[in-house]
Structure 1
Amino acid sequence: MQFYSDGYRPGDPDVRPPAPGRENGQGPLPEEVDVLVVGTGPAGVVLAAQLAEFSGITTRVVERREGPLAKGQADGVACRTVEMFEAFGLADKLVREAYWVNETTFWGPAAAGTGIERTGRVQDVADGLSEYPHVIVNQARMQAYLLEHMRNSPARLEPDYGLEATGVVVGDEGEYPVTVTLRRTEGPDAGEEVTVRAKYVVGCDGARSAVRKSLGIQLHGDARNHAWGVMDVLAVTDFPDIRLKSAIQSATGGSILIIPREGGYLVRFYVDLGDVDPADRGARDRFTPEAIIDAARKILDPYTLEVQDIVWWSVYEVGQRLADRFDDVLPAERGSRSPRVFIAGDACHTHSAKAGQGMNVSMQDGFNLGWKLGAVLEGRSPASLLDTYTAERQVIAQQLIDFDLLWSSAMAAKPKDPANPDAGGMDAAERQAVFTQGGRFTAGFATEYAENMITGSAAHQHLAKGFPVGERFHSAPVVRLADAKPVELGHQAQADGRWRLYAFADAAGPSDAESAMAAFLRFLESDPASPVLRYTPEGADPDAVFDIRGVYQQGHRFFSVADLPAFLLPRKGPFGLTDYEKVFAPDPKAPDIFDERGIDRAAGALVVVRPDQYVAHVLGLNSHAELAEFFEGIMLPARP
C-alpha cells in the first residue's frame, strides 16, 4: 500500500482526503448526475465502489430500503471474488472474518437401509487455482465492506436510501438524456416523486427490476416448481460434519446442503421441500420455519437437530431465467448507437442459490462495467467501449444458468433404486462427480472473454502460456526489488480504472541497454506512438493511465535499483517523489514465476491486463506497433 506521495498526514491511510467540494460529504441528491446506480445489491455496490475512484464523475446510488442490508441472502464467496476484493484492499479483512470452505463431504442413504452415511469427501478448491480460498460470509458484511470503501474514497460516496425507481425513459438529445422517476419509500415524504436526469443509469434493482421493465426487456427461462427452504440458524446437533460443507441425500429423496457460516457457530441449511403445484400461487407462502426444520430432521435421521435460534429464513423456487439483452440498445440498433442504460445482477439473470454463484457473478457484472463507464466519462475511451458489457457478460450469465441447472438438478435428484435402475435418479458418486467437474466454475475461473476491442488474439500466447488471453490474470509470488518484500504480483493492481502492463524481461541483465526489455521501455518513454505518451494527460503522474511493472529473471540480490532504467522509477506527486515499487524478481522461496506461468525466458513477454484484472493481450517485448494499434481502438488521445 502506497501513501504520502502528496505529503504526510496522520490517521488511517484507507480514509483518503476528500476531493474538492466533497469535504462535507456528497450533499443532497442533485437533479443531474453522470451515473445513477439503482440498487445496493452485490452488483450495485461493486459498481459504485469502483466509480467512487473517479471523483470527477458525479455518481449517485439510490436504494428503496431505509438502510443497508442487515442479514441473510447470499453467503458464498468464490476465490475469484476474493481476488477482486484484493483490488479494493479488502481481501485481508474478508478472509480473516469468513469461514473457509476447505473440504466438502457427501452423504447418501446408508447401506444398511436406514439413515444416512458419508459417501465421499473432497478438497473444495483444486490446488493451484488461486492463492485465495473459497469462503463464506453473509452478503450484508460483503456489502458493508464496499460501502465503507465508498465512504472513505475521495468522492465520499454513500447511497441515498428510501428511494425506489419507478420508471426510466431514454431520450435522444441533451447531455443528460436519461430521465429516472424515483419515489420516496420512507419518512414524512413517502410517496413523493423525484426526477433525476443522468448520462448513464445502471439497474441493479433485483429480479423484479423496474429499470429492466422500463426498457421492455424480458427474462426468459423456466421455473422448476421445486421449493427449497433456506435458513441461517444457531443449532445443536450430533451430525458430525456440521462444520463442513455437506451435500446430503436421504433415502426418501429429500436433500440438504449444509453451509457452515462465519463465527464458528452459525450454519446455513438449504432444505429440499419437494415439488409445488405451479397453479397454486400461494404454495410457497404457506411454508413455515417449523416445516423447514421438520424436513431437515427427517433428512438428517438418525442424527438429531435442535434449532436454538433462527437468524433468517426464506423459501424459494428453483428457476433459471436470463434477459435477452443487458442494456437499452435494441438488436436492430446495435452498432449505430451506444447504450445509456444497463442492467446487472439479478435484474438480468436469476437462478437457484445452491451453486453459490449469484452474488459472485453479479459482483463481476459490476466490476466489468464500472471501469468502462469511468473511462468513457473521463474522455479516455470512446462510448463504443460500453457495447462490450452486454457482449461479454450475457455469455457468462448463460454459462451460470447452464451450470446452475445441472447442479440444482443433482441436488434435487432422488437416489437410484438398485432394484429398479431404469427409474432414474442419481447416486452419491454421480453427485460428487458433478460437483468436482464444476470446481473451476464454482471457484469463479470459468470466465473467458472472447476476442473483441478490449481482448486481443492469442497469436503470441506461446510467450506467456500461463496467462491465457481472455482469462483473469493469475497472480504468482515475486519479490519486490527495492525492499526485498515477498508479494503477490497480482495484488499490486488496484480497482482504479488503470490498465496494467506487466513486462517480463528477456534473459539479458537489467542494465543491458541492448536488451529487448530496455528497448521496450525506451519505446514507452519516448516514442510518439507510445500509448503512455499518447493517452496520459499532460501534468498527470506518468502512471495515471498505465501502470507498468517490470519483472526480471535475475534474483533480487543480484541487481539493484541503480541498475534500472529511469522509466521504472517514475517521479510522482507534487514533490516528484520516486516510486520504488514497480520492479520485481522471482521469489527464491516459491516456484519461479517465469517457470510457473510459462514465460519465454529467451524472448520475455508483455502481458496487458484490463482494469478488471482480465488478460487483454500477450505480446512480445518487440511488438511495439501491435501494442500501439491495440490501444488505438480503445482509447482517445489525452486532452490538452
Structure 2
Amino acid sequence: MQYYLNGFRTGSPDIHPAQREHNPAELPAQVDVLIAGTGPAGAILTAQLAEFGDLHTLVIEKNEEPLLMGHADGVACRTVEMFNAFGLAHRLLREGYSVNETVFWGPDSGNRSQITRNGRVRDVAEGLSEYPHLIVNQARLQDFLFDKAAKSPSRTVPYYGVELLSVENTNEGDYPAIATVRRGGEQIQIRAKYVVGTDGARSNVRRSLGIKLDGDARNHAWGVMDILATTDFPDIRFKSAIQSADGGNILLIPREGGYMVRMYVDMGSLDPSDREARGRFTSDQLISTAQRIIHPYTLDVKEIAWWSVYEVGQRVAARFDDLAEDSALDVSPRIFIAGDACHTHSAKAGQGMNVSMQDSFNLGWKLAAVLQGRSHDSLLRTYSQERQGIAQELIDFDTRWSKTMSTAPKDPLNPEAGGLDPDQVQEQFQRGGQFTAGFGTRYTQSLLTSGGEYQHLATGFPVGERFHSSDVTRIADAQRVGLGHTAQADGRWRFYAFADRDGHGASSKFDTLLKYLASSPASPILRFTPAGADADAVFDLRAVHQGSHTDNTVDALPALLVPAKGKYGLRDYEKAFAAKLIDGGDEIYEARGIDRANGALVVVRPDQYVSMVLPLDATGELSEFFAQFMAEAPATA
C-alpha cells in the first residue's frame, strides 16, 4: 500500500482528504451520476466512482436503512480478485467461510430410503485463482464497499428513504437525464448527466426505458433458509449437493461464522395456473422436507435467521441502456441498468450477486473516463454490447445447473423413469466450475478487445479474460508481490511489459519500447495523459525483467519505471520487478506462458480484463488501439 505521496498525514491511510462533503439533509439538484439502488451492483459502482473526488455521484435507496441481512451469499473467486483492487479482499477473507470442497450425496444402493456420500471434488479447480470461493453475508459485503466510499475523497454516502419513480433522457443540455424521486412524501426532480438503475428485478429505471425481462419461469419451487441447527449429518460444514430417491434435493452451503448453514430445499413443481401457490409455503414445510431428504440423519432446527421460497426462472433484458437498436452511431447512452435490473436467475449457482457486481465494475471506469474527458462518450456504448452477451451466457449456464439440481436420481429398478446418476451431477458441477468461480466471462473482439494474433507470446493471459495474477519480485526492495495485485480500482489502464531475452541495450525490444513510451509523440502515455499530471495518471506501466532482482538496481532503471510524482516529485519505486522469486516457485514466464526470447506487452483494462497481447515492438498497433476511443490530452493542465 502506498501513501504519503503528497505529504505526511496522521491517522488511517484509508481515510482520504475530502474534496466534497455529504449533506444528508438536502438532495442535490444536479449531479454527474445518479445511482438508484444500493444492492451489490450499486455498491460496487458507488465505491468505484467515489474514488474520483471531482465527480459528483448521488446514491439513493428506497429502503429506510442499509441492508441488515443479505439474501445472496456466494462470493466467487473472481469477485475476491476484484475486491483486492478496492483494498478489501482481506476483509472478505477474514469474515468469510472458505469453500474448499464440494461433496455429493445420493440414494444408498442398498437402501434407497437413505442417502450416502458418493463423491467429493475441489470446489475450485487447481490453479484457477489464488483466492478461494467464499461465503459472506451480502450485507457485510456491501458495508465494506459503502464504508470505503464514505472515506473516499468524494465522501459518498447513500441517501436512504429516497425512491426513484421514473427517469427520462431529454437529450437537452449538460444534464439531460431527469429523474423524479420521492422522499418523505415529496416528489423532487434531479438532473443528471448519467443515471444507472441498480434497483433490482422490479426496476423503475428499466420500466422507464420500456425494457422487459425476457425468459421463462420453470414452475418449480425452491425454499431457502439460513438456520442454526444440531444434526448428525457428517458433512454439515461442507458444501453438499444432496439427492434423495423421492424426497427431493438439497444444496447445502455452510455460512460464515462457523455455525449457521444455508439450505436450498427442493419443494417440487408448481401449478402454473395457481399464482398464489408459492406464498402458501411455510417454514415448517421447508424444515420437514429437509429432514426427509437427509434421512437417516437428523436435523433439529433451533433458529431460522431468514427464509423464503422462490420460483426458478431465468430472464434477461435485450439491452442494458436507453439506446434503441436503430440509434445513430454518434449517439451515446445516458441511462443504464445493471444487476438484477437486467438479468435474473436461480440462486443455486451463486452467480447473481457476482455477475451484478461485474456489470457495474465494467460500467464504472467507463463513466469516469468519459466524465473526466479522457475518453469519447462512444466508449459507453460498449457496456451494453459487452454485458448483455455475458448475461445471456449466464442464463444458459444457470438453466442447465438448475435443471440438474431439480432432477431426481436414476432408479436402477426403474431406468425408464429417467433421472441422473450421481456421477452426472458431479460432472455437471465440474463442467460449470469456470462459471461458479466467476471466470465464465470472455469478451470477444471489439473496440476494447483485440484479436488473438499475438496470443502465443503470453498464452497464460488470454485476450478477453481477466488478468490472472502471478508472483514476481520487486526490484527496489526484494518484496514478493502478486503482479495483478498491484492494480487498483482507479480507472487506469495497465501496461505489463515483459522483457525479452536481450534484456538491455540496442538490440533489446524491451528497452526500445520503454524509450518509445517515454519520448515518442505517438506514445499513448504522452498523447492521453494531461499536462502536469503524474506520468502514470492514465496508464500504469509495470515492467518485469528476466533473472534476479540483484541483476538490476533502481538507479539503472529508466525514469518511466521510477517516475517522479506528486507535489514533491517523490520517486515511485514499485513499478519494476524481476521474474526470479527469492524463495522459489514457478517464475511468471513459465506460469503464464510468456515467450522468453521475445517478451510481450500485455494491455489490461481498468476492470482487470486483458485487452491485447502485443510484441514489444508493435508500438504502432498500441497507439492506434487507444486512438479509437481516448481523447487527446490538452496541451496545458
**TM score, norm. by length of structure 2:** 0.98
Equivalent of residue 109 in structure 2, options 104, 108, 111: 111
Write the deviation string for residues 206-239 of structure 1: whole angstroms up to 9, x where unpaired: 0000100110001110001111111111111100
Give the drift of 1:173.
1.3
RMSD: 1.2
Q: Distance in 2 between matches of 1:599 and 1:123?
A: 28
2:382 is matched with which residue?
A: 388
User: What secondary structure does 1:333 align onto?
Assistant: coil
Q: What is the one-letter code of the residue matched to 2:348?
A: K
Tell me: CA distance 1:27–1:616, structure 2 relative to 1, closer, same or farther (3 Å): farther
Which residue in 1 is equivalent to 2:75? 77
The aligned counterpart of 1:562 is 555
Give yes or no for contact 1:550–1:568 (8 Å, CA) kept in 2: yes
> What corresponds to 2:224 in structure 1?
230
Q: Among 594, 598, 602, which residue is 1:599 paired with?
A: 594
Looking at structure 2, the residues matched to 99 and 456 of structure 1 have their Cα atoms a distance apart, in angstroms, of: 38
CA contact (8 A) 1:520 1:622 kept: yes
2:134 equivalent to 1:139? no
Q: Give the AA of the match of 1:111.
A: S
Q: SS of the residue aligned with 1:182?
A: strand
- Counterparts of 1:524 and 1:83 in 2: how far apart (Å)? 29
Counterparts of residues 1-80 of structure 1 (less than 5 Å): 1-19=1-19, 21-22=20-21, 28-80=26-78
Say if 1:253 and 1:415, in contact at 8 Å, map to a contact too. Answer: no
What is the DSSP-based 3-state SS (H/G/I as helix, E as strand, rest coil) of the residue aligned with 1:118? strand
Long gaps (5+) in structure 1: 185-189
Contact 1:535–1:545 (8 Å) recurs in 2: yes
Post-superposition Cα deviations, 1:478-502, rounded to whole Å, max 9, x if no partner, equal: 1111011111000000000000000
Residue 333 of structure 1: how far off its partner (Å) = 1.0
In the TM superposition, what are the counterparts of 1:393-412 in structure 2 within 5 Å? 393-412=387-406
1:513-532 to 2 correspondence within 5 Å?
514-532=507-525
The answer to whether the 8 Å contact 1:99/1:135 transfers is: yes
1:470 maps to amino acid:
G
Which is worse superposed, 317-326 or 411-420? 411-420
Task: Determine if the alignment matches structure 1 residue 635 to structure 2 residue 630.
Answer: yes
Matched residue SS, 1:228:
strand
1:430-445 alignment to 2 at 5 Å? 430-445=424-439
Q: Which residue is equivalent to 1:120? A: 119
On the 8 A contact 1:470/1:614 being kept in 2, the answer is yes
Alignment partners' CA distance in 1, 2:276 and 2:336: 33
Cα distance in 1 for partners of 2:233, 2:359 equals: 38
| Aligned with residue 210 of structure 2, among 209, 212, 216 | 216
Q: Residue deviations 1:345-387, cap 9 Å, x none?
A: 0000000000000000000001000000000010110111001
Report SS of the residue matched to 1:405: helix
Shift in Å at residue 191 of structure 1? 2.1
The amino acid across from 1:281 in the alignment is R
Partner of 1:398, secondary structure, is helix
Deviation at 1:149, TM superposition (A): 0.8
Partners of 1:25 and 1:157 within 8 A in 2: no
Q: Kindly report which structure 2 residues correspond to 1:192-591, keeping only aligned pairs within 5 A, or say none.
A: 192-333=186-327, 335-510=329-504, 512=505, 514-586=507-579, 587-588=581-582, 589-591=584-586
| Counterpart-to-counterpart distance in 1, 2:222 and 2:167 | 34
Identity of aligned residues (%): 62
Is 1:614 the counterpart of 2:621 in the alignment? Answer: no
The 3 A distance-change label for structure 1 pair 321 and 624 is: same
Aligned residue type for 2:319 = R
2:164 corresponds to which residue?
A: 165
Q: Give me the whole-angstrom Cα distance separating, in 2, the residues matched to 1:26 and 1:33.
A: 15
- The aligned residue for residue 187 of structure 1 is none
Aligned length: 632
Q: Once the 2 structures are TM-superposed, how far is the Cα of residue 281 of structure 1 from its aligned partner? A: 1.7
Residue 172 of structure 1, CA deviation: 2.1
8 Å CA contact retained: 2:503, 2:510: no
Amino acid at match of 2:425: R
Contact between 1:253 and 1:413, CA under 8 Å: does it hold in 2?
no
Q: CA deviation at 1:26?
A: 7.8
1:476, 1:490 within 8 Å by CA — same for their partners in 2?
yes
8 Å contact from structure 2 (residues 250, 263) kept in 1: yes
The verdict on how the C-alpha distance between 1:26 and 1:486 changes in structure 2, with shifts beyond 3 A counting, is farther
Give, in whole Å, the separation in 2 of the partners of 1:311 and 1:303: 22
The residue that corresponds to 1:180 in the other structure is 179
**For residue 331 of structure 1, what is the amino acid of its counterpart?**
E
Q: Return the alpha-carbon distance in structure 2 between the equivalents of residues 37 and 554 of structure 1.
A: 48
Q: Residue deviations 1:24-53, cap 9 Å, x none?
A: 668732111110001011111101111111
Aligned to 1:623: 618
Q: Deviations over 1:146-193 (max 9, x none)?
A: 011101110100111101111111112111111111112xxxxx3211
SS in 2 for 1:331: coil
SS in 2 for 1:295: helix
For 1:294-318, what per-residue CA distance to the aligned partner results, in whole angstroms no more than 9, with x for missing partners?
Answer: 1111111111111111111111000
SS of the residue 1:314 aligns to: strand
Residue 84 and residue 99 in structure 1: after superposition, are their counterparts in 2 closer, same or farther (change >3 A)?
same
- Paired with 1:450 and 1:29, the residues of 2 have a C-alpha distance of 41
